[in-house]
Structure 1
Amino acid sequence: MDAQLEQIREQQKTTWNKFAPGWRKWDNFTMDWMRPMADEMIKSLHIRPTDVVLDVAAGTGEPGLSIATLAKDGKVVITDLAEGMLDVARDKAAAKGVANYETVACDVCELPFPDASFDTVSCRFGFMFFPDMQVAAQEMHRVLKPGGRMAAAVWGTPDKNAWITTIMGTISQHMAVPTPPPGAPGMFRCASPGMMAGLLRQAGFRNVTEMEVTGKLRCGSKDNYWQFMNEVAAPVVAALSNADEATREKIKQQVFGKVDQLCSDHSAALDYGTVIVYGEK
């Protein structure tokens, strides 16, 4: 891996270890929000009781731990760059009584597994952070058995994701927010229609399909929304860390006003849009 890609990897590892405590705190809330995407991925993967499954960039353990309950005579290997996130996954597994899993801290671009090791691969909201997405897709293809299945979820276009654009758009009105260079890790890196399907086909996958899953992030109140975004959303925290108290308060009140415009019942239920991509080896 060249120096620039290695730097991206180390930045991602540092970021996700830093945010592990926030993800632990909000884990139930976050996993409930993201369950529809996991459900659609799991449905497409047709998990069998004896499957050996790789869950890449699993963070706090999903959808891997849910898959483990279906592959009850098989095993799920849960991977992530950040040991801090995997600590949460292990605690969740113990609390749920899930034993047919293991965790491995590793880089998806250099998976430490032999060829044809897994029946299925899952990856929810990981691709947009990988140093080299094409290499990542090729590695997933390599470790799959012939006929193996793969499913991933990525965020759709900004216009379908008010849950993040509402706050980030407001911040950018008050502060200079650096725009990542083309191809750099970011929330909407994989959003273009057909982009992920093309990536998988180039990596050798066949029978590739894309589908959209939409819904709402239901925060219950503006205060919950603000607190959640300030404890789990890395771009929000990074931007606001450079704001003085007066600017921060101004941004907060403007965000609250926008949420009220979007949610007349003051429920802070904001749209999200995702893409689920599926392929076979």
Structure 2
Amino acid sequence: MEQQLELIREQQKETWNKFSGGWHKWNDLTMDWLKPMGDEIIRLLNLKADDVVLDVAAGTGEPGLTIATQVRAGKVIITDLAENMLAIARQNAEEQGIKNIETIACDVCELPFADNTFDKVSCRFGFMFFPDMQLAAQEIVRVLKPGGKIATAVWAGPEKNFWITAIMSTVGQHLQLPPPPPGAPGMFRCAQPGFMAGVFQQAGLKNITETEISGKLNVSNINGYWIFMNEVAAPVVAALSKIDDVLKEKIKGEVYELVNKKYPHGEIAIDSTALIIQGEK
């Protein structure tokens, strides 16, 4: 892997290790929020009881742990760059009494598995952060058995994801944030309809489908939303770290106003939308 991509990989590892505590704290909320996307991945994989499944960039363990409950005669290998996230996945598995899983810290672009190892592969919200998405897709296809399936979730466009744009658009009104370099990892890197299908097709997959799935971030109140986003959303924390406390409070007030205007009755369940893409080897 070239030096620039290695640097991106190490930055990603550092970021997700750093935010593992927030993801642990908010695990119930985030898993409820992202469950529709995980459920659609699982539906598309058409799991068999004895499948051996790879869950890539699984973070704190989903959808791999749910998959493990459906492949009782099989096994799920849960992988992520960040060992701190995988430690939470192991804890979650233990609390749920799930035994047929194994966690391995590794890079999707250099998977430590033999060719044709897995019946199915899942990847929920990983591709947009991979340094080299095409290489990642090729590696996944390499370890997938002939006839095996992969299903992944990526965020749809910003106009369908108010949960993140409420803050980031407000920050952008006050700061001249430089646009990321073309192809750099980012939230909406894979949002263009057909983009991931093209990546899959180039990697040699067939029978590719793309569907849109929505969910709601049920933060209950505006204070919960602000705290949550500052503890789990790396882009938010990175942007706010560049400003002083006075401007941060001003941005906070404007975000509160924006969110309360959209959800005037106080019960805040914020819209989010993802694309689910699946393909077959």
Does TM, normalized by the shorter one, top 0.5?
Answer: yes
- Aligned to 1:70, what secondary structure does the other structure show? coil
- Aligned to 2:112, what secondary structure does the other structure show? coil
Letter in 2 for 1:6: E
Asked whether the equivalents of residues 54 and 77 of structure 2 are also in contact (C-alpha less than 8 Å), the reply is yes
Matches within 5 A, 1:76-115: 76-115=76-115
Matches within 5 A, 1:108-147: 108-147=108-147
Identical-pair percentage: 62
User: In the alignment, which residue of structure 2 is the partner of 1:24?
Assistant: 24
Give CA deviations for 1:186-211 in whole Å, capped at 9, x if unaligned: 00000001000111011000000000
Distance 1:32 1:248 in 2: 29
User: In the alignment, which residue of structure 1 is the partner of 2:236?
Assistant: 236
User: In the alignment, which residue of structure 1 is the partner of 2:168?
Assistant: 168
Q: List structure 1 runs of 4+ shifted beyond 4 angstroms.
A: none
Structure 2 gap ranges (5+): none
Q: Does 1:265 align with 2:265?
A: yes
Letter in 1 for 2:173: Q
Distance 2:132 2:50 in 1: 31
Give CA deviations for 1:78-116 in whole Å, capped at 9, x if unaligned: 000000000000000000000101000000000000000
Distance 2:158 2:117 in 1: 36
Distance 1:187 1:199 in 2: 17
Matches within 5 A, 1:199-218: 199-218=199-218
- Aligned to 1:171, what secondary structure does the other structure show? helix
Asked whether the equivalents of residues 262 and 270 of structure 1 are also in contact (C-alpha less than 8 Å), the reply is no
Distance 1:22 1:215 in 2: 20
Asked whether the equivalents of residues 52 and 119 of structure 2 are also in contact (C-alpha less than 8 Å), the reply is yes
Q: Does 1:67 align with 2:67?
A: yes
Q: Does 1:248 align with 2:251?
A: no
Letter in 2 for 1:82: A
- Give the count of matched residue pairs: 281
- Aligned to 1:150, what secondary structure does the other structure show? strand
Deviation at 1:23, TM superposition (A): 0.5
Deviation at 1:175, TM superposition (A): 1.9
Letter in 2 for 1:35: K
Deviation at 1:177, TM superposition (A): 2.1
Asked whether the equivalents of residues 197 and 277 of structure 1 are also in contact (C-alpha less than 8 Å), the reply is yes
Letter in 1 for 2:195: M
Aligned-pair Cα RMSD in Å: 0.7
TM-score when normalising by structure 1: 0.99
Give CA deviations for 1:44-72 in whole Å, capped at 9, x if unaligned: 10111100000000000000000000000
Deviation at 1:256, TM superposition (A): 0.5
Distance 1:76 1:227 in 2: 33
Letter in 2 for 1:236: V
Deviation at 1:176, TM superposition (A): 2.6
- Aligned to 2:185, what secondary structure does the other structure show? coil
Deviation at 1:139, TM superposition (A): 0.6
User: In the alignment, which residue of structure 2 is the partner of 1:7?
Assistant: 7
Asked whether the equivalents of residues 127 and 190 of structure 2 are also in contact (C-alpha less than 8 Å), the reply is yes
Asked whether the equivalents of residues 259 and 266 of structure 1 are also in contact (C-alpha less than 8 Å), the reply is no
Asked whether the equivalents of residues 220 and 267 of structure 1 are also in contact (C-alpha less than 8 Å), the reply is yes
Distance 1:19 1:229 in 2: 11
Deviation at 1:214, TM superposition (A): 1.4
Letter in 1 for 2:263: C
Asked whether the equivalents of residues 78 and 102 of structure 2 are also in contact (C-alpha less than 8 Å), the reply is yes
Deviation at 1:271, TM superposition (A): 1.4
Deviation at 1:178, TM superposition (A): 2.7
Deviation at 1:216, TM superposition (A): 2.1
Structure 1 gap ranges (5+): none
Deviation at 1:172, TM superposition (A): 1.2
Distance 1:39 1:260 in 2: 30
Letter in 1 for 2:37: M
Distance 1:111 1:119 in 2: 15
- Aligned to 1:131, what secondary structure does the other structure show? coil
Deviation at 1:215, TM superposition (A): 2.8
Letter in 2 for 1:59: G
